[in-house]
Amino acid sequence: MYKKDFPFFKNTNTVYLDNAATTQKPNVVIDKIVEYYTHFCANTHRSNFGDANKATKEFENTRNILKDFINAKDAKQIIFTKGITESLNLIASTYAKKFKTVIISSLEHHSNITPWHMQGRTLNDGLEVVNIKDNLEFDFEHFEELLKVNPNSLVSVTHVSNAFGTKHDIKKIAKLTHKYNSYIMIDAAQSLAHFKVDVQDLDVDFYAMSGHKTYGPTGVGALYIKEELLKELPVYQTGGATINDVNYERSIMLDSPYKFEAGTQNIAGVIGFSQALNYLNNIGIEKVFEIEDELYKYLNSKLEKIPGIILYNNVSNSIASKSFNIENINCEDIGILLDKMHIAVRAGHHCAQPIMKKLNIDGTIRASIAFYNTKDDIDKFIKGLKKAITMLKD
Ligand SMILES: Cc1ncc(COP(=O)(O)O)c(C=O)c1O
């Protein structure tokens, strides 16, 4: 029913189950980008003529829509970035430096691991990793032990694992974090498009978001910053548009959000992102969750019946992405055969090598759903998977 809104599906018969890597873009997003470049292409926050004012207004409109989308108090708490990777690196290379210890979970994407290594942090020397329990669940006892030994830390965890779909209880993690005088940053790559996020209710300090995982353009993302931290947070890059007053002796920065947005921004991307959020708002994020939940349960029920399947977690603690292996078959071989059948999934380590190593596997096959998928997509995937298994077993 929703595929008609996405031009990708008009031009292909591919069963697209790689939504955790990037989502397809609805017409409204593409049309808005074309409209910007065709009708009011101008730089923002600089010139004062008609099209420039319109571009600035539309750019700021996205900030307001995103503010409401995550229930931030004020639009100035939203700063635009290239995506999650840049949002996490921004904090890693500025605010995080004041913390002796950074605590991450076992289920992090490389973009929440490598920035800490680049700072010279290594395991048990500036970087701590919370264990996972069976079923890939967050080990709260271990987390509290780490916080007791390392109060005043920065905790940086993903809301939902991209590799396994495991959902972390962020409210509970944030509460414990603050109890030990620490701060918390969340990677929202796999959450924002799937269920209602309320940053005030979660009580997080930083929330890193990605446009392209949320039906918006690539190369655009955002970072939510708790109000009390806006003044304290040092600037990351500076230059045009961040400045209140400059002479050769010193530069005086503007207030947030502008002091964090140096240089010409991805204007088309940010403006296009507003339409992705409007589109989701029109459907209702609760409805999106409901559709995906039903599809996810259906997918799980079909996968569970496949002989030789190895599952790593179950439907009760995960959403949207399902990872698995088939006994004695290389996951990448299955991915290649599925591709030949026009079924797009991801096979490999999903930019999460440490957890794969912990589980002693090279990777998994990951089918990740979006609300535009259908039971028919899942049936085709299961049929293709069974065929691939038969071919590889013989
Ligand atoms: C959990 C997670 N974190 C971070 C990223 C990187 O996000 P971005 O592409 O917005 O930099 C991804 C992308 O796959 C992801 O899944």
So where are the chain's domains? 28-282, 284-393
How far is residue 238's CA from residue 235's CA, in Å, rounded to a whole number?
A: 7
CA of 111 to the centre of ligand 1 (A): 7
Q: Which residues of 134-154 are buried (b: 16+ CB within 10 A; e: fewer)?
A: eebbbeeebbeebbeebeebb
Atom of ligand 1 nearest to the CA of 85: 11
| Structure confidence at residue 384 (pLDDT) | 98
Just list the catalytic residues: 351
Helix (H, G, I), strand (E, B) or coil at 22: coil
The pLDDT score that the predictor gives to residue 241 is 87
Topology (CATH) of 28-282: Aspartate Aminotransferase; domain 2 (3.40.640)
- Which atom in ligand 1 lies closest to the alpha carbon of residue 108? 1
Topology adopted by domain 284-393? Aspartate Aminotransferase, domain 1 (3.90.1150)
Tell me how far apart the alpha carbons of residues 286 and 294 are, in angstroms, rounded to a whole number: 12
Ligand 1: centre distance to CA 109 (Å): 7
Q: Do 321 and 165 contact (CB within 8 A), yes or no?
A: yes
For 296, the enclosing helix (H) or strand (E) is helix 285-304
Residue whose Cα lies nearest atom 15 of ligand 1: it is: 189
Question: Cα–Cα distances in Å, from 171 out to 194, 210, 386?
Answer: 17, 21, 40
In the chain, the amino acid numbered 148 is K
Q: Cβ neighbours of residue 359 under 8 Å, at least 6 residues apart?
A: 312
Instruction: Note the pLDDT of residue 348.
Output: 96
Give the closest residue to 140 by CA, choosing from 183, 109, 176, 164.
176
Q: Which atom of ligand 1 is nearest to the CA of 22?
A: 14
| Ligand 1 pocket, Cβ-based, cut-off 6 angstroms | 83-85, 109, 111, 158, 162, 187, 189-190, 210, 221, 351
Distance of CA 387 from the midpoint of ligand 1 (Å): 31
Which residue type occupies 264?
A: T
User: Probe ligand 1: pick from 85, 88, 218, 321, max atoms within 8 Å of CB?
Assistant: 85
Core vs surface per residue 84-95: b (16+ CB within 10 A) or e: bbbbbbbbbeeb
pLDDT tens track for 6-65? 999 999 999 999 999 999 999 999 999 999 999 999 999 999 999 999 999 999 999 999
Cα angle value 175/128/72 (rounded, 5°): 35
**Ligand 1 geometric centre to CA of 323 (Å):** 17
Index of the ligand 1 atom closest to the CA of residue 187: 3
How far is it, in rounded angstroms, from Cα 189 to Cα 321? 12
Mutational test site, ligand 1, from 111, 191, 207, 346, max ligand atoms within 8 Å of CB: 111
CB neighbours (10 Å) of residue 159? Answer: 24
- Walk along the chain (394 residues) in steps of 10 and give the mean pLDDT of each run: 97 96 98 98 96 98 98 98 98 96 98 97 98 96 98 98 98 98 98 98 98 98 98 92 94 95 97 98 98 98 98 94 97 98 97 97 98 98 98 88
Q: How far is the CA of 292 from the centre of ligand 1 (A)?
A: 20
Q: Whose CA is nearest to atom 7 of ligand 1?
A: 84
CB atoms within 10 A of CB 16: 22
In this structure, the residue with its CA closest to atom 14 of ligand 1 is: 21
Q: In the chain, what is the straight-line distance between the N-terminal and C-terminal CA atoms, in Å?
A: 38
Residue to mutate (ligand 1; options 207, 213, 366; most atoms within 8 A of CB): 213
Given the CA of residue 158, which atom of ligand 1 is nearest to it? Answer: 1
DSSP string, 56-106: HHHHHHHHHHHHHHTT-S-GGGEEEESSHHHHHHHHHTTGGGG-S-EEEET
Q: 85 CA distance to ligand 1 centroid (A)?
A: 6
